[in-house]
Structure 1
Amino acid sequence: MAEERKEVPEEVTKLREALAAFAAMDDDVACTAAISEVLRQWPDFGSELRQLREQRVNSLRQQHGMTWPEIAAVIGEVTPERAQQISKGLSGARRKKDKRAAEEQPGE
């Protein structure tokens, strides 16, 4: 059975091209400085991407009436439960922190 290939969004291709552009830079000083600037801003980029994904996941649910399994399939490689957590803005670190806090509280 042939493996089904997903189409790669243009934006992902552009990001890969940007990374290749760094690698292709001849000037080690300029390349190091440019990559360092991106890495300094990376936490902000990650946060913005997570917020945008959360908004779009909520739109898929509310505006398009998609189920959590359908949304999980769109996201790829996540469970429906994880898709629902994404819709609430829960990151992996946040889920672990919330779980630890719940475990530390005495039984209710």
Structure 2
Amino acid sequence: MRTFNHVGIVTDTIPTGAVYNEGLSVWLTDFSKSPNKIEFLKFEPGSCMPELVQKQGHIAYTVSSLEEELKGKKVIFGPAVCDEHLTIAFIEEEGISIELMEIK
């Protein structure tokens, strides 16, 4: 079962308060500090993220089992272990990118 987590919105300028993720070549804000659960993203050239994510942004959901949720889906990125508590993957569904997050 999916539980809404946040929305990723792509910008063309570095958002106020953004931090740089060198591994993904993206500036991003902390969605947990947004009253509307918005993560603003500014991608740098050479980012490994799929074009769909870089151009349109995404909707993110928390899932209990990433492995189960990915079965039969069109995976466009990942799974990627972010840290000991978080693994993510992106799928394409209904023509948009969906981020799936397994939090331990």
How does the TM-score come out when normalised to structure 1? 0.20
**Greater strand fraction, Structure 1 or Structure 2:** 2
- Which structure has the larger Rg over C-alpha atoms? 1
**Greater helix fraction, Structure 1 or Structure 2:** 1
How does the TM-score come out when normalised to structure 2? 0.20
Higher RCO (C-alpha under 8 Å, 6+ residues apart): 2
